[in-house]
């Protein structure tokens, strides 16, 4: 006669298998959480880095756009006239167009080091878009992005898996960064901070970069002997 039902040994085996499965669930959940956290960080860093690259492609200051031929060094209010102490300003006086060690070089090859504007021209002290720059498509210098921000919805056309808020801030920092605090005007260093906040899991990623007032190098055509 065949007996129906579940044998005791089968029941024990079933209980053991179920116990193993339940013991594995917390580990699986933890791995899933870590995977999501890593995905958020990777997306946020990629988003912040892309935005920083966009900012870095612009002129250091609006006044650089007024330069003829190439962007020149601008005068600033923080230690700009203290060449003996730091060499941040014009040397040896306000009538010069060079910093310490920045005079013409390799003239025979037609290369010139960076220089100031011919007349004193101060960098902008108000950071943000200028009049007429109503959207990022109009931005032409780094600090135009001060206060810029937007939101990204998950699973939209961009392909991001999570929702994000992106914000950009631009500020001056002192030429002597060890002094701390704000220069109270313009300096030779602009600090750009890109913050990406993942709104669902409350994750923050921040990228910071310093951009300096160094102008561009003027290169002339080498004369043919």
Q: What is the tens place of the pLDDT at every residue in 166-182?
A: 999 999 998 877 777 78
Residue 213 lies in a domain: yes
Instruction: Say what the pLDDT of residue 34 is.
Output: 46
Asked if residue 90 lies in contact with residue 116, where contact means CB atoms within 8 angstroms, the answer is yes
Domain region containing 206: 8-219
Cβ partners under 8 Å of residue 15, min gap 6: none
Tell me, yes or no, whether 1 lies in a domain. no
Output the pTM of the full model. 0.76
Give the pLDDT of residue 153: 77
Low-confidence ranges of the chain (pLDDT < 50): 2, 32-34
pLDDT value for 109: 55
pLDDT of residue 157: 52
Query: Would you say residue 225 lies in a domain?
Result: no
Is the residue at 2 inside a domain?
no
The structural domain count of the chain equals 1
Take residue 38 and report the two structure tokens written for it: 């890593």
The count of other CB atoms within 10 Å of the CB of residue 113 is 15
CA distance linking residue 129 with residue 4, whole number of Å: 82
| Rounded CA separation 61/124 (Å) | 7
Assigned domain for 3 exists: no
- Let me know if residue 13 belongs to a domain: yes
Cβ contacts of 117 within 8 Å, gap of 6 or more:
67, 72, 73, 74, 75, 97
Residue 222 has a pLDDT of 56
């Amino acid at each position: 006669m065949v007996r129906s039902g579940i044998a005791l040994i089968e029941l024990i085996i079933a209980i053991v298998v179920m116990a193993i499965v339940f013991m594995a669930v917390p580990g699986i959940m933890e791995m899933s959480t870590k995977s999501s956290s890593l995905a958020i960080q990777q997306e946020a860093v990629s988003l912040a880095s892309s935005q920083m690259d966009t900012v870095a492609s612009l002129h250091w200051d609006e006044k650089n756009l007024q330069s003829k031929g190439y962007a020149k060094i601008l005068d600033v209010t923080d230690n700009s006239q203290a060449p003996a102490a730091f060499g941040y300003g014009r040397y040896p006086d306000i009538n010069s167009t060079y910093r310490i060690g920045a005079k013409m070089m390799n003239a025979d090859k037609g290369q010139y080091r960076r220089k100031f504007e011919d007349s004193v021209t101060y960098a902008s002290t108000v950071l943000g878009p200028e009049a007429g720059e109503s959207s990022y498509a109009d931005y032409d210098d780094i600090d135009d992005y001060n206060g810029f921000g937007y939101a990204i919805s998950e699973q939209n056309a961009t392909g991001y898996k999570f929702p994000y808020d992106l914000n950009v801030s631009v500020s001056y920092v002192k030429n002597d960064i060890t002094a701390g605090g704000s220069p109270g005007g313009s300096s030779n260093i602009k600090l750009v901070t890109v913050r990406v906040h993942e709104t669902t899991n409350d994750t923050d990623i921040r990228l910071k970069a310093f951009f300096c007032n160094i102008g561009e190098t003027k290169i002339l055509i080498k004369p043919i002997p």
